[in-house]
A = this chain, B = another copy of it.
């Protein structure tokens, strides 16, 4: 009723977060039967496509803070879906892999995810969705810096 201006907000960040909340809930609902959240699903998937990726590699791929990744990983380790082990050549590096249980859970979740994905793309159009993802990936790849914030160093 109120605050319904056409261009809701000109802030790219606010608009992005707002839509992320909306879509996040949709995917979360779809994944609910598996007990996974959308974020956890994405994380398990990312781990599964890597070759026992290091924490840092995962964080970089997901554009996520390393410590945030550590936190997010905890429930998955606790629930026995992933396990970690030190790299053989560099003991600073911690590698991550799915457990059999984690792989099974991922397989289960992928089926649920597919339903949500298809449902969404039926509404918005597969091509538009692909184009949107491409644009988002492009934005994510930008080397943004505030000119005033980092003059030299």
Contact = CB atoms under 8 A, between A and B. Distances in A.
Interface of A: 1-5, 7-24, 26-27, 29-30, 38-39, 41-42, 45-46, 49-51, 53, 57, 60-64, 113, 115-117, 119-121, 123-124, 128-129, 132-133, 135-140, 142, 144-149
* Copies of this subunit: 2
12 contacts: A2-B50, A12-B120, A12-B129, A13-B116, A14-B41, A14-B45, A17-B42, A21-B64, A22-B139, A26-B146, A119-B145, A123-B144
Given A12-B120, A15-B136, 13 more contacts: A2-B51, A2-B57, A4-B61, A7-B137, A9-B42, A9-B45, A11-B113, A12-B132, A14-B38, A17-B39, A19-B137, A26-B146, A124-B139
B46 A3 contact: yes
B3 A117 contact: no
A8 B64 CA distance: 14
Which residue, of A19, A27, A116, A146, has the highest number of chain B Cβ atoms within 10 A?
Answer: A19
Contacts of A61: 3-4, 8
Given A3-B57, A26-B144, A137-B8, A63 B13 contact: no
Contacts of A2: 50-51, 53, 57
A139 B138 CA distance: 19
Contact of A123 (B17, B121, B142): B142
